[in-house]
Structure 1
Amino acid sequence: MTRSLDALRSRRWFAASDMRGFAHRQRIQQMGLRREDVLDKPIVAIINTWSDLSPCHAHLRERAESVKRGVLMAGGMPFELPAMSLGEVMVKPTTMLYRNFLAMEVEELLRSLPIDGVVLLAGCDKTTPATVMGAVSAGLPTIFCPAGGMLSDRHLKRGEPARSIGAGTHTRMFWDEYQAGQIPEPEWIKLEAKMTRSPGTCNVMGTASTMTSMVEALGLALPGATAIPAMDAGHVRMATNCGERIVSMIWDDLTPAKLLTRGAFLNAAAVQMALGGSTNAAVHIIAMARRAGVDLSLADLDAMGRQVPVLANLFPSGDRLMEDFHYAGGLPALMNRIRPHLSLGEMTVTGRTIGENIEGRESLDDEVIRPLERPVSAAGALAVLRGNLAPEGAVMKSSAASPKYFRHTGRALVFDSPAEMNKVCADPELDVDENTVLVLRNAGPVGAPGMPEWGGLPIPKKLLDRGVRDMVRLSDARMSGTHYGSCILHISPEAAVGGPLALVRTGDLIALDVEARTLELKVSNDELARRRADWTPPPRPVTRGFTRLYQDHVLQAHEGCDFDFLQGDDSSPEPAIF
């Protein structure tokens, strides 16, 4: 124990002998608690993103009780604080619109209340970066308790070997087959009812598992925590351990500022590449780094993508699921495999370094966590492309794309909205072939608004019927981490603020070279200048509320899509009463 009781932040509320201190103690006792429960113990917040409409977090009410048990066992006093729950599928128009909202809520909850440390209960896509961003800005000792992945399903067809299936990637695969008439209606209805068998996040290496794994790599979660299935008894024990550990972190004043160095963020980037992680991580890790005052850019991510091969054989880059990854040793085993690419001296929530945490943690299944000499993909999980079409960068999940498109030139087919795109792509007479480059614009942070996951553009029905399952597709949108294909995303600056994507016309030639990291619009500078002179920004019909605030202050994709007024690690003053 390195801090005294009087050094705790909560003492400013509860230890004072004035009227305010009296009132604070009075109100605590109003809830049936004892005076000494808040005077003699550190106060722990449990930020819970549970909701009845968030299936990924449906179990977090129970996990909060496990965290409380751990806090009490360690001599702390827990208080559960509900926060906005961003259940990915249900929230419209996109959870990304509200990531910064949740980050602000977490920061203000921690800043305004008598809190000494915090356990974050989250996991579904945007909840992980949002809660971490808010906690980092608040600056209190923080530990992340991941929601865990859902249980896997088995797809059985007579005469064929059984295969594991899950949410996200398989949904998209089965949908394409259903559209092409390869899955009959009765089977489709059965798939709908059984593919998602329990609470928990998507059980592929989508955005949820990517982000929770990166937070573990940052040192903010217990070793191995992120791969434990949501319904595993070990998940309950892990939650209890989080509650117990945060109390020690409070006494040691082990804050995010002491953990989140540039080396820690580069470790997280290395893990993203080895996992074949979601392209969404490119936005979130930059946002988190900027909150911590750490300089991190797309160039850093691209450099790491060239160095670290994909070793995790997980959908959508591989063919296994998160349960398999857990049984194979989870993230500590994967990180041990990429030790040469890690900064091993970075401190973590355990009070030990990342190198100490992963020491001796070996892979138990070399088909799930591949050795360096036999990667799932040597192409890398992420490529950052630049050129006259993406002067500030665009990203591509090269490990889940078709190699035949790594060097490709095709004629553009441009859409200004998803509604237009879906209508046109359903036309059986559409002038399109597999070499066409599909382009969707006005889908970025400002244009959509919120940068939805529209980037997995649909294959036109005409081509699905011919057996085509991939094409080159460009957008200023994001793509679900569960998706796959030759999709170029996050084109920055976006079309709605005048980025070059706004100037593309159907019939223009677009050239992609993944190895050279280039994305070029084959139109002369003079012609582009003429088009720019004729361009006008699209209207912004929203005039009030959070969406208006978002459009006015959101940064571009290469900057992390945080708000311009939330950058840096300077904390705001404590509440004015102090």
Structure 2
Amino acid sequence: MHRDSEPDRPGTRRSAAWFGLDGKLGFVHRSKLYNQGYSASMFDGRPIIGICNSWSDLAPCNAHLRQVAESVKRGILMAGGVPLEFPTMSLGETLMRPSAMLFRNLMAMDVEESLRANPLDGVVLLGGCDKTVPAQLMGALSVDLPTVMVTGGPMLNGKFRGQDAGSGTHVWKFSEEYRAGRMSRADFGAAEACLSRSSGHCTTMGTASTMACLTEALGLSLPGSAAIPAVDARRHNIAEHAGGRIVAMVEEELTPSSILDRRSFENAIRVNAAIGGSTNAVVHLLAIAGRAEVDVALADFDTLAADIPLLVDLLPSGRFQMEDFAYAGGLPAVIRELGDLLDTGAATVTGRTLGENTADADNWQPDVIRPRANPLREPGGHTAVLRGNLAPDGAVIKVSAASEELLRHTGTALVFDTVEEYHEVADSPDLPVDADTVLVVRNAGPTGYPGMPEIGNLAIPKRLLDAGIRDMVRITDGRMSGTSYGTVVLHVAPESAVGGPLALLRSGDTVTLDVPARRIDMDVPDAELRSRATALAPPGAESGGGYAWLYRRHARQADTGVDFDFLIGRRGHQVPRRHL
């Protein structure tokens, strides 16, 4: 029954390098698993499928994934595979400090090395909260085993005082109303429990929902899986189907590298525009493309989306939420509606093309998923990539969540070196700010903070809130939550901490934002900028140790995805050397 194997030989199960061996080594590998109650049939050549679970009580969006894993196991067993569930680090944006983004690459390393080191023929990834999905994909793509992603699904719509309320988006609104004295402390407190009514991730088109949709658009999850609510029985149904499908993918030797190509990423970028997706998708897709060894650049997020209308009417760019999106038809309806604007011949985990998967998709609620003839916004109204002497390597702005009247704006900069510095004075009646002021927070980039925190949607100064102002131009080298809104320039590259031009900006300088022209500039003469650069203190020597030291030394800039330089271009699922 047991035989020596050559694990790199085509058609040979990778797990045979562990379980197919005679002698001491095979004995040890098999024997230890008997303590879990497995029988010898586990080792008769069945596909061994890993279930990579990011469940954690510390990541509320992922806390229900234990139950989802049981459905995946059922599907694997029914298809003749052997499921082996294992944990990885889990990232929750709501609790982790200083930023969950700081740990995305660490989780990706955890996933990658867990897959490399263990006797797995394929893997089902279970993720939910913002950074877990890209981290798992990054790690899995580097290993290139047959892979299916199952996301945890959104919560049910929030409800507050008889009205729908959305995760994140209404938090920012309620907070500003409370600070302005238009919402009582009792009502503000009562709203806390009303926005999170069930298991699942954010109800709006934030980063979690965006990455679930883009994973489906990439072809790495089953059709229709992104939008189903976490507590809907269909979430477990599709998890079971994913378990069955991964067993078939192992038989077919269908790996991510045989699915993903340039077309896949072009589709994902265009879908991101059509759904009003998060700006965080930019850094995540760039990182995922790097692991897939597919050439994708920051400029693609503007040029490829130029002819894509905004079709999905969801917060923060519209009115509805993910539960409504699911009932309207979810992403398959969007893909079918986009039609020839996508390359529907792209491959997917089903073994069929994107077009074949969605050929029969229906749009049951055209007010939620708009037809192309009646979009929420005309083409070009989503993510814009800006360049100029403030951002020579690029910055992004979510046009669909910005104020139309501020897309061309000139104002005086008010500059803060840290977000904490701004928070200390945001409510001061003496803050020198008016409606035309451009608020700037720097040192919030990949290495400067570190980890690019979601601070970009700075709270409007209280004196402006009291005057009825609800938006103003804000600029940062950090990020903002996908649930946020406002005229916010993000991901300025290179960041200020490495000497980018944002470090040279001073309060009182004139800043011009021109989104139609794709420009972000400071009106400071070149000679003055050179003088300021000469006087600028050099970046401080790297201090401390541990993971933060590693991150600061090796994280790339926002315009290339903020992955570690040493993790790119290592694709392949070689079997580790034997040691007994």
For normalisation by structure 1, the TM-score amounts to 0.97
| Contact in 2 for aligned 1:496/1:537 (Cα 8 Å) | no
Hey, what does 2:427 align to over in structure 1? 426
Hey, what does 1:159 align to over in structure 2? none
Which residue identity lines up with residue 219 of structure 2 in the other structure?
A: G
Separation in 2, partners of 1:362, 1:540: 57
362 and 540 in structure 1: CA distance in 2 versus 1, 3 angstrom threshold:
farther
TM-superposition CA deviations, 1:214-265 (whole Å, max 9, x none): 0000000000000000000111111111111100001001000011100000
Hey, what does 1:417 align to over in structure 2? 418
Which residue identity lines up with residue 219 of structure 1 in the other structure?
A: G
| Contact in 2 for aligned 1:228/1:235 (Cα 8 Å) | yes
Separation in 2, partners of 1:409, 1:6: 63
Hey, what does 2:326 align to over in structure 1? 326
Separation in 2, partners of 1:452, 1:244: 38
Hey, what does 2:438 align to over in structure 1? 437
Separation in 2, partners of 1:422, 1:541: 27
2:74 is the alignment partner of 1:75:
no
Deviates further, 32-41 or 379-388: 32-41
What stretches of structure 2 of length at least 5 have no aligned partner? 1-7
For normalisation by structure 2, the TM-score amounts to 0.97
1:191-230 matches, cutoff 5 A: 191-230=191-230
1:565 Cα deviation from its structure 2 partner: 0.6
TM-superposition CA deviations, 1:180-232 (whole Å, max 9, x none): 11111221121112221111000100000001100000000000000000000
260 and 348 in structure 1: CA distance in 2 versus 1, 3 angstrom threshold:
same
| Contact in 2 for aligned 1:48/1:80 (Cα 8 Å) | yes
Separation in 1, partners of 2:401, 2:348: 31
Separation in 2, partners of 1:96, 1:520: 27
Hey, what does 1:109 align to over in structure 2? 114
2:130 is the alignment partner of 1:129:
no
TM-superposition CA deviations, 1:346-370 (whole Å, max 9, x none): 1111110001011021211111001
Hey, what does 1:456 align to over in structure 2? 457
Hey, what does 1:533 align to over in structure 2? 534
Of 140, 145, 153, the residue aligned with 1:140 is: 145
| Contact in 1 for aligned 2:104/2:135 (Cα 8 Å) | yes
1:572 Cα deviation from its structure 2 partner: 7.0
Separation in 2, partners of 1:293, 1:494: 25
SS of residue matched to 2:333:
helix
Which residue identity lines up with residue 344 of structure 1 in the other structure?
A: T
2:363 is the alignment partner of 1:389:
no
| Contact in 1 for aligned 2:160/2:194 (Cα 8 Å) | no
TM-superposition CA deviations, 1:453-476 (whole Å, max 9, x none): 111111111101111110000000
260 and 488 in structure 1: CA distance in 2 versus 1, 3 angstrom threshold:
same
Separation in 1, partners of 2:245, 2:541: 47
1:22 Cα deviation from its structure 2 partner: 1.2
| Contact in 1 for aligned 2:499/2:539 (Cα 8 Å) | no
138 and 250 in structure 1: CA distance in 2 versus 1, 3 angstrom threshold:
same
| Contact in 2 for aligned 1:317/1:376 (Cα 8 Å) | no
Separation in 1, partners of 2:150, 2:538: 43
Separation in 2, partners of 1:240, 1:346: 24
Separation in 2, partners of 1:232, 1:447: 41
268 and 550 in structure 1: CA distance in 2 versus 1, 3 angstrom threshold:
same
1:100 Cα deviation from its structure 2 partner: 0.4
Separation in 2, partners of 1:194, 1:276: 24
1:496 Cα deviation from its structure 2 partner: 0.2
| Contact in 1 for aligned 2:201/2:208 (Cα 8 Å) | yes
Separation in 2, partners of 1:88, 1:372: 34
TM-superposition CA deviations, 1:512-546 (whole Å, max 9, x none): 11011001111000000000000014546751111
| Contact in 2 for aligned 1:44/1:116 (Cα 8 Å) | yes
Which residue identity lines up with residue 267 of structure 1 in the other structure?
A: N
1:27-106 matches, cutoff 5 A: 27-106=32-111
1:576 Cα deviation from its structure 2 partner: 1.9
Which residue identity lines up with residue 15 of structure 1 in the other structure?
A: G
104 and 194 in structure 1: CA distance in 2 versus 1, 3 angstrom threshold:
same
Separation in 2, partners of 1:13, 1:464: 64
What stretches of structure 1 of length at least 5 have no aligned partner? 157-161
Separation in 2, partners of 1:79, 1:123: 20
| Contact in 2 for aligned 1:453/1:480 (Cα 8 Å) | yes
TM-superposition CA deviations, 1:6-36 (whole Å, max 9, x none): 7110011011112101111111112221122
356 and 393 in structure 1: CA distance in 2 versus 1, 3 angstrom threshold:
same
Hey, what does 2:304 align to over in structure 1? 304
Which residue identity lines up with residue 448 of structure 2 in the other structure?
A: G
| Contact in 1 for aligned 2:158/2:203 (Cα 8 Å) | no
Separation in 1, partners of 2:66, 2:571: 33
Separation in 1, partners of 2:542, 2:553: 13
Separation in 2, partners of 1:472, 1:20: 63
450 and 71 in structure 1: CA distance in 2 versus 1, 3 angstrom threshold:
same
Hey, what does 2:515 align to over in structure 1? 514
Which residue identity lines up with residue 409 of structure 2 in the other structure?
A: H
1:577 Cα deviation from its structure 2 partner: 1.7
1:102 Cα deviation from its structure 2 partner: 0.7
| Contact in 2 for aligned 1:282/1:298 (Cα 8 Å) | yes
Separation in 2, partners of 1:153, 1:64: 26
Hey, what does 2:505 align to over in structure 1? 504
Deviates further, 546-555 or 29-38: 29-38
Aligned length, in residue pairs: 571
Which residue identity lines up with residue 483 of structure 1 in the other structure?
A: S
2:18 is the alignment partner of 1:13:
yes
| Contact in 1 for aligned 2:205/2:322 (Cα 8 Å) | yes
| Contact in 2 for aligned 1:67/1:239 (Cα 8 Å) | yes
Separation in 2, partners of 1:295, 1:541: 31
1:557 Cα deviation from its structure 2 partner: 0.2
TM-superposition CA deviations, 1:78-131 (whole Å, max 9, x none): 011100011110111111000000111111001000000000000210001000
1:298 Cα deviation from its structure 2 partner: 1.2
| Contact in 2 for aligned 1:381/1:398 (Cα 8 Å) | yes
| Contact in 2 for aligned 1:50/1:58 (Cα 8 Å) | yes
Hey, what does 1:369 align to over in structure 2? 369
Separation in 2, partners of 1:343, 1:568: 26
SS of residue matched to 1:21:
helix
1:393 Cα deviation from its structure 2 partner: 0.3
Separation in 2, partners of 1:300, 1:418: 30
Separation in 2, partners of 1:568, 1:331: 31
TM-superposition CA deviations, 1:120-145 (whole Å, max 9, x none): 00021000100000000011000000
1:151 Cα deviation from its structure 2 partner: 0.9
